[in-house]
Amino acid sequence: MKILVINGPNINMLGIREKNIYGAETYEDLKALLEKTFAEKGVEGEIYQSNHEGDLVDRIQQAYFDGTEGIVINPAAYTHTSVAILDALKAVRPLPAVEVHISDVKEREDFRQISYAGKACVKTIMGRGLKGYVDAIAFLVENKV
């Protein structure tokens, strides 16, 4: 199985930004955890991060053509604003996508209560820290959705 993990804006700043919300683990820690999880689950994995909406849309679209079988996506701030990412995820169906959020978005500001990307995802995992990514990969592998 081939899984693409996509991270949106400011995820590359983990360990630096708002540690009270996102913790002290760094983006390098996240990448190491993902690589370990790919190996343990026996999947081919790719990690992609961009701070630019169009780049994220392009990578989602590319996934349809490059043999990707599942997407784990943390759209970050674009969760609440990007119809373009929603449309890209809808365009690449039947590719299943799982939405991940490090924090529990339900317990945050009112404007964070809407997830456009989540409307095109088969599952949302939030509030589990970096472990949420592991859970998302496991869900894709175990369910082969």
Residues in contact with 15: Cβ distance below 8 Å, sequence separation at least 6, in sequence order: 22, 23, 24, 25, 26, 27, 29
101 carries an active-site annotation? yes
Q: Which of 23, 4, 8, 138 is nearest to 76 (CA)?
A: 8
**Residue in 52, 78, 101, 133 annotated catalytic:** 101
**Residue in 22, 78, 116, 133 annotated catalytic:** 22
Residues in contact with 18: Cβ distance below 8 Å, sequence separation at least 6, in sequence order: none
80 carries an active-site annotation? no
Q: Name the CA radius of gyration of the chain, rounded.
A: 14
Dihedral sign for Cα atoms in the order 143, 33, 70, 135: positive
Strand partners, 97: 71
Catalytically active residues are: 22, 101
